Amino acid sequence: GMKPVAITDGPWPEQQANATSGNGELLRAALVALVRNSELSGMRSTVRQLEDRFNRNYGYPYIFLNDEDFTDEFKKGIRAMTRSQVYFGKLPKEHWGLSPYVTEDKVKEALERNKDRYIYGGSYSYRLMCRYQSGFVYKHPLLKNLDYYWRIEPSVHYYCDIPYDPFRYMRDNNLKYGYTITPQEKAETVETLWDTTRKWMIENPQHLPETSVIHWVVNEKAEYTHCHFWSNFEIVDLSLYRSAAYESYFQYLDRAGGFFYERWGDAPVHSFAASLLLRKEQIHWFEDIGYHHPGYAHCPDKPEMAARCVCGGNSDYMTSRSMCKRRFGEVGNIFRNQALELAHM
C-alpha cells in the first residue's frame, strides 16, 4: 500500500519528479485549480471524487492557486481529503490584473455595454481569470517543475472509475492536449478573436508548424466554427503553453485587448492554440472520463466504458447534440501554406 506523505507548503521537492506510487512511475504532473476561499465545499467535493475515482491509487500532488491568501479553513478542508502533497499558492501580482495594453475607461465602457449581453458580460474579475488561465497559470512558480497539468475546478463531477494514469497515457502516446467536452462558444464573447488570430498567423508564419488541425476551429470558408475544448477540464503537456509560438500568440491577443473589451475565454484561446500548433494525433478525447461541469456533461455510452460510470444512459450532450464533437472526428490536418491561405481569405 501507499505510505502517507508529509504535508508541506513547498517548495516543490525535487524528488517528486522521481517518486513512485504503488502503481509505478509518477510523472512530473499535478492536479491544478485556481479557486476562491468561498468555493471550499465545491472544491472538497471535486477532490473527494478525484481521489475516489483515480488519485488515491497514484498520489499525484494538488496545487491550489488564488489571487488572495487561502484561509486556514480552506487548507485544512482540502488536506482532509487526500494523502497527496498539497500546495497552496498566491498569484504573483503582475499575473493578475489589467493588461497594460487596455485603458481603464474603455474597459468600464465594455463591461457596461456587455453586462446584459452574455454571462459574466459585466464581470471584471472573470476577465482577469480568463486572461490568467490563458497566459499565466503555467508560469506560476509552483508549476515550474511540472511537465503536465490536469486542470480541475470546484463543483464538477467525475462519473467513472479511472483505472489508469492519464498523464502516462499522454506521454506514452505523444499527446499534448486532452479534453472531454467540446461545446460552441457564445459568439458575442469572441467577436474579433478569429480576426485577431488570423492576423497573428499572417504576421508570424514562422511559428506555425508544418501541419495542424486548424479546420477544427475554422471551416473551409474561413469562418470561425466557435468550437472549443471546454478548458475547465484539460490535461496538457505544458510544453505547448511554454512554447515560443504560444507566448507570441498570447502576447498578440493581450495586445489586441479582447480579454477585456470583449470577454475572450481561456477555452477558445487554448483551443485556437492547440488547433494551430498541434496535429490532430496530438490531441486526445478522454472519452472514458465521464465528467460534468455546470452546463454540460459527458457520459460515456460505449458499454465497456459505461460499465464503470455512475451516470446513466446516452442522454448526454456529447453523444446527442455536439456539432463540434462530430467535427473533430471528421477534420484532418492541413499544411502550413493552406493554413495561411485560410488566414488570408
Catalytic positions, written as ranges: 234
Cβ nearer to Mn ion, comparing 99 with 232: 232
Among residues 71, 65, 129, which one has the least CA distance to residue 96? 129
Cβ nearer to ligand GDP, comparing 36 with 56: 36
Among residues 228, 217, 210, which one has the least CA distance to residue 194? 217
CA separation for the pair 292, 290 (Å, rounded): 7
Instruction: Give the DSSP H/E element, type plus range, for residue 33.
Output: strand 29-34
161 contacts which partner out of Mn ion, ligand GDP, none, CB within 5 to 8 A by kind? Answer: none
Residue with cell 481603464: 104
Is 225 a binding residue for ligand GDP by CB under 6 A? The answer is: no
Q: What is the 3-state secondary structure (H, E, C) of 216-280?
A: HCECCCCCECCECCCCCCEEEECCCCCCHHHHHHHHHHHHHCHHHHCCCCHHHHHHHHHHHHCCH
33, 256, 269, 311: which one binds ligand GDP (CB under 6 A): 33
Is 47 a binding residue for ligand GDP by CB under 6 A? The answer is: no
Is 39 a binding residue for Mn ion by CB under 5 A? The answer is: no
- Binders of ligand GDP among residues 58 to 77 (CB under 6 A) are 66-67
Q: Is 329 helix (H, G, I), strand (E, B) or coil?
A: helix
- Binders of Mn ion among residues 49 to 78 (CB under 5 A) are none
125, 173, 251, 315: which one binds ligand GDP (CB under 6 A): 125
Is 153 a binding residue for Mn ion by CB under 5 A? The answer is: yes
Is 34 a binding residue for ligand GDP by CB under 6 A? The answer is: yes
Q: Cβ contacts of residue 195 below 8 Å, gap of 6+?
A: none
Applying CB under 6 A, the span of 27-35, 234-242, 246-254, 332-340 interacting with ligand GDP comes to 27-35
67 contacts which partner out of ligand GDP, Mn ion, none, CB within 5 to 8 A by kind? Answer: ligand GDP
Cell numbers that stand for 292 in this block:
460534468
The CA-to-CA distance between both ends of the chain, in Å, stands at 59
Applying CB under 6 A, the span of 31-39, 139-147, 195-203, 233-241 interacting with ligand GDP comes to 31-39
26, 35, 213, 343: which one binds ligand GDP (CB under 6 A): 35
Total of chain residues touching ligand GDP, rule CB under 6 A: 12
CB 283 within 8 A of CB 296: no
- Which stretches of the chain bind ligand GDP, using CB under 6 A? 33-36, 39, 66-67, 125, 129, 153-154, 232
